[in-house]
Structure 1
Amino acid sequence: MTAEPLLTPDVLRKLETLELISRKAKAGRQRGDRLSKRKGRGAEFADFRPYSSGDDLRFLDWGLFARFERLFLRLFLEDEDLHVHLLLDVSRSMAFGEPQKLLFAKRVAAAIGFVGLVNLDRVTVTAFAEKSLGKSPPFRGRPALSRLLAYLDELEPQAAGDFNRSMRMIAPTLTGRGVVVVLSDFLDKAGVADGLRFLASRGLDTTAVQVLAPEEVEPAVVGDLRLTDAEDGTTAEVTVTADLLDRYRRAVAAFRTRLTGDCNRLGISLLQTTSDLPFDRVALRMLRG
């Protein structure tokens, strides 16, 4: 569990007017017609949220404006929910880094999940390592935020990863229209192309968020070292020289480029980041497109 909250009040304020929009599911709709619980068009009133530029002015609540001098939008339930599927890598390699990769990924997942909850989307979390470790119960509505954060907070690194096997197990569970966000370092000796294909086969709007530690991208080590594989525990003794560091950097760049190519071919959006960057910046970049 983390000593600090996954989301601070300041981050929540930045996020509360945003929406998750599925580009695939909105095909054929009028421009600007947002997907998640289209405001005012369902039969059942559900909640309010602060007005955001581009929202339909017909569904502003002028009574609340008179009381608080702020614009709020009425939200109504629709027959079909937008599903927000958060897939979180909890393999051993995610325990690495300063700040830790898994903690960073949890915070990004929490931010995206919060936006889904505010807009009455159905949010689930599936943790995976060497296989799928099970899906959370669905979370829905702002009051569910504390339960979502508690669920994420309790996830810990589990075992060696097997991305392809995990995605083969998870893909059939991705039902309903909506979005998939998979957060991982994508470090797998077998590669991840097959797993990405399993995700893409579901036809949902999918985003991959690659989280690496800054010391994985730009290591600052020299001399004789014993390196331990974070996944399987194997060790190797190496002498780190300037030439070896240069070859390592080229290998990391090639690895990230290969992941970019795999995602592009499959129509998967990709965000690549390091765990020392502000996590809310990554979430906002994804949400704002």
Structure 2
Amino acid sequence: MAKFVINEEFLQQVETLQILIKNNIAGLFGGNHRTRNFGSSCEFADYRDYIAGDDITKIDWNAFARFEKLYLKLFLDERQMHTRIYIDASRSMDYGKGRKAEQALRIAALIAYVSVCDMDKVSVYAIHGGTVEEVFVGVHGKDMYLEQIGKLNDIVF
């Protein structure tokens, strides 16, 4: 059975990767992924004309004072992504020295860590033949990650 150890060195490598990824991409667990939809984040996106029935708290009163016309301020919406990781748990992954299985577990742990650091949810599943087994579901936050990540070692290849 393939096993891997989450130690300080592994977490430092993941932190470095997470910083590199964060440099390349742009509520309680709001997520950091901008959408093209308008929402309620703090980042201003655009103005649009007020239409009867719109939320009056979004009216830009400074623009009204200047133009004597009602405008709404629109903000970017931020969404939480749910990362789902599927691990091939067939016996061929553990053949010989089991390096493929160990690498699959390390990569899954790495992707999961980067996702929770980005305030996203993570679920991991193991695929055995035609069945899919939940390893852990809906993990968010580093503390919960550290509690659940050891379950990867319970996957039987």
Is residue 125 from structure 1 mapped to residue 134 from structure 2 by the alignment? Answer: no
Change (3 A) 1:79 1:38: closer
Q: 2:32 corresponds to which residue?
A: 37
> What is the 5 A alignment of 1:82-97?
82-97=81-96
Matches within 5 A, 1:14-53: 14-17=13-16, 18=18, 34=26, 37=32, 42=41
> Gapped runs of 5+ residues in structure 2?
35-39, 43-76
Q: Give the number of aligned pairs.
A: 111
Code of the residue aligned with 2:111 in structure 1: it is I
Query: Normalised by the size of structure 1, how large is the TM-score?
Result: 0.33
The CA deviation at 1:149 is 1.5
> For residue 8 of structure 1, what is the aligned residue in structure 2?
7
Larger gyration radius, structure 1 or structure 2 = 2
Q: TM-score, normalised by structure 2?
A: 0.57
Q: Secondary structure at the match of 2:122?
A: strand
Letter in 2 for 1:156: V
Residues 133/89 of structure 1: CA separation in 2 closer, same or farther (3 Å cut): same
In 2 relative to 1, CA 86–38 (structure 1 residues): closer, same or farther, beyond 3 Å?
A: closer
Question: How far off is 1:33 after superposition?
Answer: 5.2
Conserved in 1, the CA contact under 8 Å of 2:4 and 2:153? no
In structure 2, the CA distance between the partners of 1:131 and 1:19, relative to structure 1 (3 Å rule), is farther
Aligned residues: CA RMSD: 3.1
Percent identical pairs in the alignment equals 24
Closer/same/farther in 2, CA of residues 121 and 134 from structure 1, 3 Å limit: same
Residue matched to 1:104: 103
Structure with greater proportional strand content: 2
Corresponding position of 1:153: 153
Relative distance call for 1:141 and 1:20 in structure 2 (3 A) is farther
* Distance of 1:106 and 1:4 partners within structure 2: 7
